[in-house]
Amino acid sequence: MRKLVLAACGLCAWLSLSEPARAQNDECRAVIARAIKAAGGEDKLAAVKAIQMKVKGTLSVQGMDLEFTAEFFKQQPNRAKIAADLNINNQNVQVTQVINGDKGWAHVMGNTMDLDADTIKMAKDELYADRVASLAPLKDKAFKLSPLGEVKVGDRQTVGVLVTHKDQRDVSLYFDSKTHELVKAEYRIFDQFSKQEVNQEKLYSEYKELLPGLRLPGRILVNNDGKRFIDMTVSEMSAAEKHDDSIYARP
């Protein structure tokens, strides 16, 4: 009899813990569903496999604010390319950096060099964070969601959701309570300039229809440990099912 009582108590305790957990998970998935709908819908978001975009902005590094224009290519899960023109002391410097699977290289002022392991890992971590921020993959139950509560981001009231996945860094997402738009993504990442891990946050604003039927952020502000790192605006964007391999090929 004593064993039956203990077993019953254990079952009741498990139920009392699991029911709130399920309710919280359902609440988080509802937040994501509203954000997906506000962006244009699950089907349209899921159809975006590879993107190309043109941007301009300012890179703040080592005490300098460098103006730049750039063209980005991203193809999930592990391909990325940036071709940038930087204005350094009124001199134009062209920089290209590519991540292609587990390999990476950079081309600067006519010289091509392999990227070190830390820089490749940083780029892959950022690709993953961007994948999370694209929202559509979060319908997969492999992504675990938990609430972060209501948080003020700038002057906007937001609802936070923590996204976890096996063998990946945690990513915190914050959504506008009224518009349901993604306002901020936050995660830990290696900084190739300081050679240390930093807390990186991406702030999204100026939403507009950058792709047919999809409202996406036209401005992205990146802060590392609370300090401005990149401030950029998107001028053009296009999407494809897959990029040609030549885009990511080493010269």
3-class SS of residue 226: coil
143 contacts 136 by C-beta, under 8 angstroms: no
Residue by residue, what is the 3-state secondary structure of the chain?
Answer: CHHHHHHHHHHHHHHHHHHHHHHHHHHHHHHHHHHHHHHCCHHHHHCCCEEEEEEEEEEEECCEEEEEEEEEEEECCCEEEEEEEEEECCEEEEEEEEEECCEEEEEECCEEEECCHHHHHHHHHHHHHHHHHCCHHHHCCCCEEEEEEEEEECCEEEEEEEEECCCCCCEEEEEECCCCCEEEEEEEEEECCCCEEEEEEEEEEEEEEEECCEEEEEEEEEEECCEEEEEEEEEEEEEECCCCHHHHCCC
**DSSP 8-class letter at 158:** E
3-class SS of residue 44: helix
Domain boundaries, given as residue ranges, for the chain: 12-248
Class of domain 12-248: mainly beta
- For residues 183-204, one letter each, b for 16 or more C-beta atoms within 10 angstroms of the residue's C-beta and e for the rest, the string is bbbbbebbbeeeeeebebbbbb
Pairing between β-strand 144-153 and β-strand 156-164 as defined by DSSP bridges: antiparallel
**Would you say the pTM of this structure is higher than 0.95?**
no
- State how far the Cα of 151 lies from the Cα of 80, in Å rounded to an integer: 32
Per-residue pLDDT of the chain (251 residues; tens, 9 = 90+): 555 555 565 655 555 554 555 667 889 999 999 999 999 999 999 999 999 999 999 999 888 899 999 999 999 999 999 999 998 888 899 999 999 999 999 999 889 999 999 999 999 999 999 999 999 999 898 999 999 999 999 999 999 999 999 989 999 999 999 999 999 999 999 888 888 899 999 999 999 999 999 999 999 999 999 999 999 999 999 999 999 999 999 87
- State how far the Cα of 202 lies from the Cα of 224, in Å rounded to an integer: 9
- State how far the Cα of 53 lies from the Cα of 5, in Å rounded to an integer: 63
Pairing between β-strand 182-191 and β-strand 227-240 as defined by DSSP bridges: unpaired
